[in-house]
Structure formats: structure tokens, C-alpha cells
Amino acid sequence: MDENIPESVAKYLDARGFKTLRISDDFLKSAKDSVIAKYAAEKGLQILTLDSDFAQLYHNIFRGRITVLLVKANPTNAENIIGILDVALEKIRKTETQNKLLIISKKRIRIIS
């Protein structure tokens, strides 16, 4: 999870059975987005972020090599992010989203390969 995701979102995902790795808790703290994306590609990790720069990295460099879940939340507080993820997790399957860019908002989920 990118540094811009609140800790309570990580706890929510952990409770739902997902293993989370927060960039702010890891050696990648304050690393450039491209370094984080490369690490995710090498380790087979998904990136959960509020940062649209990861969508650009996906399109320009890492297409088909990483999964990016870009949450479009306004406001960007934990409660709103969790609400969006709660709905999205009921609608999407991991097999459909692997190595793709997902743009997730309250009203829509876009899956880009």
C-alpha cells in the first residue's frame, strides 16, 4: 500500500484476509513511485494507492506486469476509502484483475489491461 493510504485501511484489509505491506513501514519509505512499482513487479505485489502517477507508470512502463488499484475518493479519508473498497471487493475477482490497472470510485470500477 502506498504511503497515502491510512493505517486503518490496512487494518480493514487485514481483517478481510488480505496481507498488506505498507510502504511507510517498509524500507521503501519515501522511495520514488517507479522504485515502488519495480519492487511490486519483482515480488508479484499489488499497489493500492490514491496517486494517479501509478496509472501513468502502469501505462508507460509496467503494463501487464503489475496490478495497480487506484482509488478515487473524495474526500480521501479512511472511511470513504474503505466504503469504496468494500463495494469493489464484492464486485471484482482477483483472476480478472491480475496485472491490470483498476480505477475504483464510488460509482464505477474501470479495469484496464
DSSP 78-94: HHHHHHHHHHHHHH--H
* Tens-digit pLDDT profile for residues 74-111: 999 999 999 999 999 888 887 788 999 999 999 999 99
**CB 71, CB 110: distance < 8 Å:** no
Residue where the block lists cell 499489488: 46
d(CA 110, CA 39): 24
Q: Which of 4-8, 23-27, 35-39, 107-111 has the lowest mean pLDDT?
A: 23-27
Q: What is the pTM of this model?
A: 0.90
